[in-house]
Structure 1
């Protein structure tokens, strides 16, 4: 390891090493109970040489540039399989564990645990699904689906990113 290159990529995360780096994109949010909106988002995927990927998602309203949503977490891998888990904390009081499968161009997950603040704003989030798809050498799409206590599973967010740094 050199000071410039950082730690060596752990063998377990090599299939998804294309995620590593900083991404910026534009998205559309919609849901039956809210007005449609547009946003910009910056993602950073990094590692420290361990068998996981750390991430940070930060979005802003594309018209006002006011902060909207922030997620921090990790992608963990089940050794010897294509099974992965996302461990996520949201700034509005939701924490979740999503599990699913990955390929060399896609990650598909679904929450099996959603934790909520006792004083969180209703309606209660019940389930989240997401798909990350590599759509080119330097492009990525994320689609997020959500189910609440009042609304069945439906698409909520769709954003397309371009990689800006490795």
Structure 2
């Protein structure tokens, strides 16, 4: 898995309240598959990417995605700065990752209309550009394309 880069943790002054966590900041990926077990589950292996960042506030942003090494299924857990938290699951086919909402949470005072469902597709093109298309539905709008953006990889 490729790590997600974010330059913010490098350029912002680290807040004193979280300065003892400076060793954690950055992008991480599993070196080899991790091992999981629980009494009610069959033992499993998985891979994972982690991203720890801060932007000068006394907060550490943590994001990760994990996938089962024996499948093309992927899970993203996304916490947006708007307060919306998403659990998305999907499948990786070649250089295309399609994700769909499994769960949403938001603060009780979140602005309406509330998002009800999200569908997200990442596609890597032969020229190295990454394209993302996001569709969503709200309490007042059926599933509709909301965002479309193309990215270049940072050095």
TM-score (norm 1): 0.61
Q: Secondary structure at the match of 2:154?
A: strand
Aligned to 2:78: 88
**Structure 1 pair 89/82, CA: closer, same or farther in 2 (3 Å)?**
same
Cα separation, partners in 2 of 1:149 and 1:87, compared to 1, 3 Å: same
Q: Is the 8 A contact 1:124 1:149 kept in 2?
A: yes
CA contact (8 A) 1:72 1:88 kept: no
> How much is the aligned-residue C-alpha RMSD, in angstroms?
2.4
Counterparts of 1:73 and 1:123, CA distance in 2: 26
SS in 2 for 1:136: coil
SS of residue in 1 equivalent to 2:94 = coil
Q: Where does residue 154 of structure 2 map in the other structure?
A: 164
Bigger-Rg structure (1/2): 2
Q: CA deviation at 1:164?
A: 2.0
1:49 to 2:45 alignment: no
Instruction: Report if aligned partners of 1:98, 1:109 keep a CA contact under 8 Å in 2.
Output: yes
Gaps of 5+ in 2: 7-25, 32-46, 53-60
SS in structure 2 of the partner of residue 47 of structure 1: strand
Instruction: Say which structure is richer in strand.
Output: 1
How high is the TM-score relative to the length of structure 2?
0.65
Question: Runs ≥4 in structure 1, deviation > 3 angstroms?
Answer: 20-23
SS, match of residue 132 in structure 1:
strand
